[in-house]
Structure 1
Amino acid sequence: MVTVNGSTAEIVSDIRYGQLVDAHDPTDGGHRLVESVRLVRAAGSAGTILTNEGRRSAAGLVLLAALLWVARRRALVLTEFLPGRRGRLVTWAYRFLLPRVVLRAQVMTGWERDDYAQRYRIERSRLVVIPFYRFDDRLVDEPVPWERAGREGWISTGRNSCDWDTVIAAAARRDWPLTIICPSAERARIETPAAVAGVAVRSDVPRPEHDALLADAELLIVALKDRSVSAGHVRLMSAATFGVPVVATAVRGIQGYEELAVRLVPVNDPALLREAVEGVASDPEALRREMARVREHALERPYSVYAAEIAAFVRGG
C-alpha cells in the first residue's frame, strides 16, 4: 500500500524494489510499450505505479505518463530518476507530462534534484534525495580486505559515460596489466588503439563473471566523461563491497560518492590519471590506509539501510 493524499492505494510495479512493498507485477517481460499499458490498466483508478526509466525506457515512461495524464491521475512513483540530458522531444514530453503525473521521484544527489526540477519542471518537493548504497551487504557480510590473496590485474569497466580514450592514452607504453570491459557497441572503436597501448578488451561480460573479475582485481579505474548525468556510483559501490581500490575522475556525476575512491583526478587528463594509478600501485602502505577509510565510509550506508529508505519513500514516509 502507498499513501496518496492521506489515503492508501494498491501498488503495481515492474522493478525489483516492488518486492520491498509487496507490489503486484502485471508485466510478463514483453515489449516495454505494451507493458506500460499493462501497468496503467493494473493500477486501475486508485492504484499507484512504481517504476523507473531504466526499466521502462524513455519512450515507455512517456507513454505511461501520457496514459496517466489522459486519466487525470497523479499516480507515478519513480525510483533512481537519472534521466540526464535527453533529446528535445523527450525533454518536451517529460516537461509536459511528469509534473502532472509524478507523485514523487527519488534522486540520488542534491544537484540532481535542483537540475531536474528546473529542466523538467517537476515540483522540487516531489523530488526526494535518497543516496545510493555504498556497500552491498546482500553479497558479503563484511568488507573484503584489498590485500587478500589471489588479486591480480587491473580493470576499467562500465556502460555509461566511460572515457576509454583517456584510459587508453594513460596506459600507452606503460605495460599496465589492464583489461577494459565495455559494451559490444564500443568495442570496435576502442579495440585497435587499446591493442597498440597493450590493453586487453572484453565486451558484454555476464554479470556474475563481471563481479568475479572485479572481486579479484587489484585496481579499478573509473574514467568518466564530464556530463550532467549521474554515472559511476554503482561501480564505486561494487568496488567498495569487494575491497577493490578505485582511481576515478572527479566528474559531477559522482558527487556524493567521491569518498569511495582512493584517488580522484581531473577529467580528460591521461598524464594525471597515469600518475595517480601508478602512485597507488607503488605505495601499499598508503593504499592500506586509504582502503581502511573507504571501508569505514562504505559501511555507514549498506544496501539494507537503502532498501528500508526506499520502502518508506514508496509508501509515502
Structure 2
Amino acid sequence: MQGRVGLNQRNFRAMKKTLLTGILLFLSAVPAPISADEKAQGFTALQADKAGADYGFQGEYAGKIRSNDTEVDLGLQVIAEGQGRFAWVAWVGGLPGAGWNGETPLRGAGERQGDVVILKGDTGRGEVRGGSVSVYNMENVRVAELSRVQRMSPTLGRKPPEGAIVLFDGSSADEFEGGRLSDDKLLMQGCTSRKKLGSGELHVEFLLPWMPNARGQGRGNSGVYLQGRYEVQVLDSFGLTGEQNECGGIYSISKPLLNMCLPPLAWQTYDIQFKAAQFGADGKKQADGLITVRHNGVVIHEQVKLTHATTAAPVAEGAEPGPLYLQDHGNQVRYRNIWFNPAKP
C-alpha cells in the first residue's frame, strides 16, 4: 500500500522543505456566484450539476515534483469547505493507496477569488489549466505538473457469487425494513435487513452527498452495521486524517490503516470479511468477532478484534445472527449493489 520512492535522505529533506515552505496553487475554473442555497449550512447535492460553483475545484491530482536532481511522485487532494473556502493536502509518494510513502502529509487552507482558488502557503505558486496543476517554487521554477485523476474502486459492480444473499440490486427495497428507494432507484439510508446474518462476506456500494458547509459528523454521515452491532463508519472524510469515527473506521474500536475515502459524489465500496463472535451455552462471550475491511479495494483493517458493540448499535452483542443496518444520521447517503455471502459451515 505504500509506494517505493527512489530518494536519498538529503534530497528528501530538500524536497520536503520545498513543500513545507508553502505551495500557492491557483486552480482555474469558470467563475460563478455563490447562490443562497449554497450558503445554507445544510446545503446538500446528490448530483454534480446541482453542486454549485465550488464543486469543479474539489478532487484529486497526481504527478511528480522535482527537488534538486530528483523527481518524486506527489498526490494532491483539494477539499471544498463551503462558500469559496478550501483545504489542500499533499501526499509525498502519491495519493493514499496509490504510492503514498507514509510520511505525514502537508496541509493548508485556501479560498476562491473570482475564477481561481488560491491554496495558501508561505511561498510558491501554482496554476491549474485544462485539468493540470503547475507548481512553482519561490524562485519561479516549475517543480511539479499534476493532473486531475478520478479514481474508481476496482470492486465497483462486483457480482454476488453463487449462494450469496442479494439484499439490494436496485429492483426493490423489500429486503429491508424501512427500505426506501430514491427516484433513481438507489437505497436510502435508515433501514434494516429482514434477513439475519452470521459470519461471511459483505459487499456494499455507497455514495456520499456533497455537503461543503458541513463539518465532522454532520457531513455525509451514515454507517454499515454488521449484525446490527458493529459499525464501519460511513462519512465524508475526504482529505481528513483517518480516525476511528471517520470513513472506514470501526467506530470506537480501530481507525483505518489509511484514509481511502474518495471525494463526495464518487461511488465507493466496502468489501468486508466478518467472523461472528462466539458465545458459550451460558451466554458469555468466549471469542471476539473478527473483521477485515477493504475500502475501495485497499485493505484498511485486517483481522481486527471486535471487542464490543458500537455504542449506538440497535442490537446488543449475542450469539444469534443479526441484520445489516444502514444508519440514518440525517444525511442523504445512497447505497446500491448489496449482497452477503455466508461463510461455509
State TM-score, norm by structure 1: 0.28
Give the structure with the higher percent strand.
Answer: 2
Superposition TM-score, scaled by structure 2 size: 0.27
Structure with higher RCO (Cα < 8 A, 6+ apart): 2
